[in-house]
Amino acid sequence: MKTVACIVQEGFAPFEFGVACEAFGLDRTEDGIPSFDFRIVTPVPGAVPSKMGFSINVRDDLSFASEADLVVVSPIPHPSWADVDPRVLDVVRHAADRGAWLLSICSGSFVLGAAGVLDGRRATTHWMYAERMARMFPRVQLDPDVLYVQDGRIITSAGTAAGLDACLHLLRLELGAEAANVIARRMVVAPQRDGGQAQFIVRPLPQTAGLSLAPVADWALENLHRELTVEQLAARAHMSPRTFARRFKADYGTTPAAWLARQRVIHAQRLLERTEWGLDRIAAECGFGSAAVLRQNFARVLGTAPTAYRARFTCAARSGQAAGDPSAPSPAA
């Protein structure tokens, strides 16, 4: 992925638009991250008003998007959902036909829906708009409860910060886990929130510092090589297993088992990129037990084999910020 086009239209949302600019538009070559040819495009170049009352001056029309490796669709206001510019729809359809990446943020999914590229596919949008999207596009397999969804080379995300999660997910696929972690550190955000997490968490912040599960999660990350159980984690939190599981789901938006499985895969990615260890050693270090179990989890989560992942990303990960202790666990999602 080398070229990125971000489509903006009248009434675009500044924050979600800024997410795309932050993720793909900054020069991070000093950190060993390749730069993208990132351009903002619109049907008619010139001043494009945002929904907040200010405008941006866009120089490029949609021609760049017709050849870009990634086309990002920013949110559009409610009145436009049923009347998307046909020129934008053509670009979206062409991108899908030629196998380019398509990424929508928040209500940008309505543009993809109007173009027909989500028909028969899994997708998501902001939970506030899910019922309307389901009515407008009944052929879309809508999941309103997750942060983002990847179906083939199309990624749809929920609102606001979930768009950043989706961008980091794509960067991880294209550049590798370590490069995505470098970008996340620059952004000062968590490097990985799994797409299957709930869009809204019952209690986003612990009620008191004493009830925080963060120390338990940190301990688990430092001990991924062990066979960890809910009972063990609950004991460290001084809770019953049932109470711990309920609290963990409320705080982290997923179950302890699912969170642990994802953290093990993330750690395996990092070790594949930064070491020459064999699969048996990596499997043991990550708590998978055997290379076969590592392969199964890798294929389930990432859709590829560990050896193929290593071949693609090991060189890139050893440049720039990749130096360090390969056995150190990745930050929690």
CA distance 9 to 51: 10
Closest CA to 298 of 327, 254, 253, 265: 265
Closest CA to 168 of 224, 103, 262: 103
> Taking the mean position of all CA atoms in its chain, how far away is CA 72?
13
- Distant-in-sequence, close-in-space partners of 136: CB < 8 Å, separation ≥ 6: 81, 82, 110, 113
Closest CA to 121 of 138, 97, 108: 138
- Distant-in-sequence, close-in-space partners of 112: CB < 8 Å, separation ≥ 6: 73, 92, 102, 104, 118, 123, 154, 156
Q: Are 1 and 33 in contact (CB under 8 A)?
A: no
Q: Catalytic one among 6, 21, 106, 167?
A: 106
**Distance separating the N- and C-terminal Cα atoms of the chain:** 25
Does the annotation count 315 as an active-site position? no
Residue 64 structure tokens? 């760049």
CA distance 193 to 196: 8
CA distance 102 to 92: 8
Residue 83 structure tokens? 């009347």
Closest CA to 298 of 284, 308, 312: 308
Handedness of CA 117, 123, 126, 131 (dihedral sign): positive
Closest CA to 166 of 185, 151, 178: 151
In the numeric block, the tokens 């989890």 are attached to: 297
Residues taking part in catalysis: 106
